[in-house]
Amino acid sequence: MAMAELSTPKTTSPFLHSSSRLRLSSKLHLSNHFRHLLLPPLPTTPNSRISCSVSQNSQAPVAVQENGLVKTKKECYGVFCLTYDLKAEEETKSWKKLIRIAVSGAAGMISNHLLFKLASGEVFGPDQPIALKLLGSERSRQALEGVAMELEDSLFPLLREVDIGTDAYEVFQDVEWALLIGAKPRGPGMERAALLDINGQIFAEQGKALNAVASPNVKVLVVGNPCNTNALICLKNAPNIPAKNFHALTRLDENRAKCQLALKAGVFYDKVSNMTIWGNHSTTQVPDFLNARINGVPVKEVITDHKWLEEGFTESVQKRGGLLIQKWGRSSAASTAVSIVDAIKSLVTPTPEGDWFSTGVYTNGNPYGIAEDLVFSMPCRSKGDGDYELVKDVEIDDYLRNRIAKSEAELLAEKKCVAHLTGEGIAYCDLGPVDTMLPGEV
Ligand code: LMR
């Protein structure tokens, strides 16, 4: 039996302390937020220590008693419950301060690719220790343990903590990054409005949880579809976190667009730059071939088949997800994980001179006349500090303007469907029959 000690978090929330309370209150259908307000705190003493033990037989850590009280434990897993002092070891002395990264849908396919990339150091660098906070549904609890076991067995030096849990208020505690992947897929016969509502509720709740317990400057990347509107819902429910910190993943679309242009031009895809995806992560998205470059030359000068650019290319990017589902029988997972890595790296490393990247961001103050108060994919640059600025001088011609307006209209319609989740009153949902599709729904 190995024993380990964990320090109590600075802000101690009562719901961290008793799983039996959580079960009882969830039967009463109280949201986590209300649970937080209603449950009386368990007695804690300042600077009290929390112990957790790792049983040799069961692998999973168990709560232990200290001073006659059942002490809380974070849901640390196995070897990750051990404590360590990074400053005490020669090899780790120069490492940066540990960062906490939450991943929802942690037992899913995308996460199964992503988590190992995060843990390897490929994303945040070889001197950045990380803690992974894995959020899943109650149904996926066993699978979450399986994921944690595989992370244990991978012996990643930079992976210092793994917690698993099903309560966003617990898992998001102090996180600096939140990668929100978990969402319900659209089931057979399900109205798109119903999907927006079901997933919207998940992201409203997670926004509230981030607002309550995450680091105040947490960066949030929403992957679960419909990701733009989910990101909007999330940010509206997290008023204490800057709206600028929320992103919807359109990097996969950017990567797909680069690949198609490279294929047509007969060059390797690293020669394609300045690729913007405008708008929604849906079949109305606009891959911008007007401003993209191949070997530094405008795409339209390299690829003279402009009909293909306007029709074939655009549609191939818009519908790539659907084609992939036809081939695979399921949604993209590995390439989505890679694009999440790319999206994060674009924020934590300086953007190469003259280039930019696409990400879905809050539109307030945008110079392109796109309606305010949406999450819309646009060209951005970063100094590598986790923040970004919009690229403000990208040319927009009539073709682009018309296409962008369609995607904007779609997002405005989606926004009306979720007004009840963004605090804007009663929802009214009237989505067009054709264009309101996820890439995977074609
Ligand atoms: C993708 O672009 O591959 C996914 O968003 C498709 C989907 O609908 O899951």
Question: What is the block-wise mean pLDDT of the chain (442 residues), using blocks of 10 residues?
Answer: 29 28 26 34 33 34 40 73 89 95 98 98 97 96 97 97 97 98 80 85 98 98 96 98 98 98 98 98 95 98 98 96 86 96 98 98 97 98 98 97 96 95 91 61 58
Number of C-beta neighbours around residue 412 at 10 A = 12
pTM of the model: 0.84
Q: Which of 17, 36, 247, 281 is catalytic?
A: 281
Q: Dump the DSSP string for 171-230.
A: HTTT-SEEEE---PPPPTT--HHHHHHHHHHHHHHHHHHHHHHS-TT-EEEE-SSSHHHH
Res 280: pLDDT: 96
Res 33: pLDDT: 36
Res 366: pLDDT: 97
Which regions of 279-325 does DSSP assign to beta strands (E)?
Answer: 286-288, 293-294, 297-298
Q: Tell which atom from ligand 1 comes closest to the C-alpha of 335.
A: 3
Rounded Cα–Cα distance for residues 331 and 252 (Å): 12
Which protein residue's CA is at the shortest distance from atom 1 of ligand 1?
A: 321
User: Does ligand 1 have an atom closer than 6 angstroms to the CB of 321?
Assistant: yes
Res 322: pLDDT: 85
Q: Tell which atom from ligand 1 comes closest to the C-alpha of 227.
A: 5
Three-state secondary-structure class, residue 53: strand
User: Does ligand 1 have an atom closer than 6 angstroms to the CB of 282?
Assistant: no
Three-state secondary-structure class, residue 385: coil
Residue 367 main-chain phi, psi, to 5 deg:
-90, 5
Q: Tell which atom from ligand 1 comes closest to the C-alpha of 186.
A: 8
Asked about 36 being catalytic, the answer comes back as no
Tell how strand 177-180 and strand 99-104 pair up.
Answer: parallel
Rounded Cα–Cα distance for residues 37 and 35 (Å): 5
**What would the two tokens of residue 135 be?**
């959020």
Distance 402 CA to ligand 1 centre (A): 24
Rounded Cα–Cα distance for residues 213 and 215 (Å): 7
